[in-house]
Amino acid sequence: MQPAGRTPEELRELVSHGGAELARAPAEVIIEWAAATFGERFCVTSSMGDAALAHLASTVVPG
């Protein structure tokens, strides 16, 4: 039984196209793409010693 969400093949396709399209994009654009692509499944994790990415993501995609 396949879990809910995208198949491994679909995820590989996303990585392939997304990586090429976003190779030189600023972090904010990449975060916007990830939030639009993954919706409510989008999340950011980090250690408390490095909260810069979590802060940036919270400004681009509040909540």
Sign of CA dihedral 9, 10, 13, 19: negative
pLDDT of residue 4: 65
pLDDT of residue 3: 52
pLDDT of residue 20: 87
Per-residue pLDDT of the chain (63 residues; tens, 9 = 90+): 445 678 999 989 988 888 888 999 999 999 999 999 888 888 888 777 778 888 999 999 988
Helices and strands counted in the chain (H then E): 3, 0
Give every CB contact of residue 54 below 8 A, 6+ residues apart in sequence: 44, 45, 46
pLDDT of residue 40: 87
